[in-house]
Amino acid sequence: MHVHPQPAQSLNGHAPTTSPPNPPELGPRSFLRFDPNTTITHTNLNLNNPRPSSQRSAHAPSGSLDDAGVARTGSINIYAGKLFDPYTRALRSNQLITVSPASGLITSVTSYGSVEDARVKESETVVDLRNHTVMPGFVDVHVHLFLHEYSETSWDDQVTRESLAERTIRATVHARRTLMAGYTAVRDLGTEGAEDADLALRKCLSGPKPIAPGPRYFCANRAIVTTGAYGPRNQLYPNRDGVEGKMGAEVADGVDGCVRAVRRQVGAGADWIKVYAANMNTVAPDVAGSALGVFTDAELTAIVDTAHALGVKVAAHSSGGPRASALLAGKVDSVEHAIEWTEPSHATGHLSTQTLSPTVWVPTLSVFYISAGNSIAWTKAQRTFRDVLRRHPNGDFKIACGGDTGVFAHGDNALEMKLMVRLGAPWQHVLGWGTLGGWECIRSMRWEGQQGVERLQRVEQLGEDARLVGDNEVPFGALRKGFAADIIATAGDIANNFEHAVDKGSIVFVMKGGRVYKRDGREQA
């Protein structure tokens, strides 16, 4: 997010990099249309009654590994004193998680008794977390790895004065800090002038032996904006977009221009399309940051329909107002910010009735909290979030956690969850939004519709192996059989001191895809 009005304040993540013998040939994504009448919820996932192999979906990869195959490669046993289950939003005691390092999947979750408890001995293949709370890896659905704190360098100077090499090196550092803070997956919603560097970074972070340590990385490449709506802007030539060829986003005007922009980004390998649907930044002070509808309805429809036809979801940036209400009631897959939006009295537990998957709201409380110069925006953000909590006390509203991290320090991503609890959300709801809710938001469209139902049904059969489907296509966000072994642990008391427990200083164990990156509070080589 470019907060300009208040300046005072696998190779591509989908295709596998290493494979078992003769894996099926997979491209970055399947360009399929989906059944808009089917929505995936966790109730579609029967984790206690997996289908036998003879009844697996025809879409299951032919090279899927069975339990015996996993067992032959060895396993890691993790003894959890407490385990958070985002499906039930409850803590379970004395749980043994078995992980296959080869597949990167959880192969079983069972209870352990006093006899096993007495025999636990820490080793390379036994992780003793009996005095800790174990959780799925956190998910931040709104980051900008190619930005760093505005308190260090302004957005304009980062975009126009820092070289692409410097920004890329910084991004790798940010990725490592993010992972060590317990965030095993993120969605980057725009390189902000760093061109296509996010696509290359995704390659470097992917696979069982990544070039650089970091979270699963879903990227949106360049945000799409209208002429005159974004920066940077040369003060000598205010009528021109950009400075010396540097733009913080991609300009698209007219239906044909919008279709071309989406096709170009999806063709390059973007996981998501981001559109600035209802804001003008770095423009005349009277309208900067206002909730204006900058794209026409026809242009917005062209962007969303083209992306969905190509199997890619759409995130919309909007402060609120009438345009945000239309977005939240309609077409896109996630809406960012929306601090001036008021939920209609008839609203249901999610924002969208027309998309294949329910529209998810990402409040980004952190960016408004950090931007202290804009106290009005922070006041609006608090009011809107509390209003949603009041209307949905059971936490049935589709929310995901993303703080617009990059405006503030990478590694401090948990600020978003902390603020939600401060504003009155139960910690169990917030932890669910920050784990499973994150996956349900950023997962690809191949997890939605009937195809998604079939995939969920074969999760327990270990059919969603990263070596077959790619790093970003595995299920994560929950500690259950068949899900990715993205596992973290805190030394804090999650129930009685939530802020301390989710803080980066309390995260003592981090595993992503079955590989240990942090143990006993120390980063692993």
Same domain, 162 and 232: yes
Left (φ > 0), alpha (ψ -120 to 50) or beta: where does 182 sit? left
Same domain, 215 and 144: yes
pLDDT score for 373: 60
Cis amide linkage into residue 50, ω under 30° from 0: no
pLDDT score for 309: 96
Same domain, 212 and 236: yes
Same domain, 325 and 398: yes
- Residue recorded with tokens 């249309």: 33
> Is 278 in contact with 323 (CB distance < 8 Å)?
yes
- Asked if the structure places residue 121 within a domain, the reply is yes
CA angle (476, 87, 388) in 5-degree steps: 100
Same domain, 216 and 147: yes
Angle of helix 164-180 relative to helix 197-205, nearest 10 degrees, comes to 40
pLDDT score for 519: 97
- Which helix (H) or strand (E) element contains residue 143? strand 138-143
Read off the pTM. 0.83
Left (φ > 0), alpha (ψ -120 to 50) or beta: where does 450 sit? alpha
- Asked if the structure places residue 152 within a domain, the reply is yes
Phi, psi of 303 (to 5 degrees): -60, -50
CA angle (136, 419, 180) in 5-degree steps: 40
Same domain, 273 and 346: yes
> Is 339 in contact with 320 (CB distance < 8 Å)?
yes
Domain boundary among 442, 470, 501: 442
pLDDT score for 324: 55
Same domain, 365 and 484: no
pLDDT score for 395: 87
- Asked if the structure places residue 29 within a domain, the reply is no
pLDDT score for 119: 82
Domain span at residue 499? Answer: 73-137+446-524
Same domain, 389 and 319: yes
Same domain, 356 and 429: yes
Burial of 261 (0-12, 13-18, 19+ CB in 10 A): buried
**What is the helix, strand, coil percentage profile of the chain, to 5?**
30, 20, 50
Same domain, 451 and 438: no
Question: How many domains does the chain fold into?
Answer: 2
- Asked if the structure places residue 27 within a domain, the reply is no
- Asked if the structure places residue 49 within a domain, the reply is no
pLDDT score for 228: 77
Q: Which portions of the chain are predicted below pLDDT 70?
A: 1-73, 230-239, 241-243, 245, 248, 278-293, 320-330, 342-357, 372-374
> CATH code at 127?
2.30.40.10
- Asked if the structure places residue 41 within a domain, the reply is no
- Asked if the structure places residue 92 within a domain, the reply is yes
Domain boundary among 442, 469, 490: 442
> CATH code at 190?
3.20.20.140
Which residues are within 8 A (CB) of 379 and not within 5 positions of it... i.e. 6 or more apart?
Answer: none
Which residues are within 8 A (CB) of 415 and not within 5 positions of it... i.e. 6 or more apart?
Answer: 366, 369, 370, 403, 408
- Asked if the structure places residue 496 within a domain, the reply is yes
CA angle (322, 323, 326) in 5-degree steps: 90
pLDDT score for 66: 37
Same domain, 119 and 151: no
CA 361 distance to own-chain centroid = 12
pLDDT score for 346: 42
* DSSP line for 324-337: HHHHHTSS-SEEEE
Same domain, 333 and 363: yes
Domain boundary among 407, 442, 477: 442
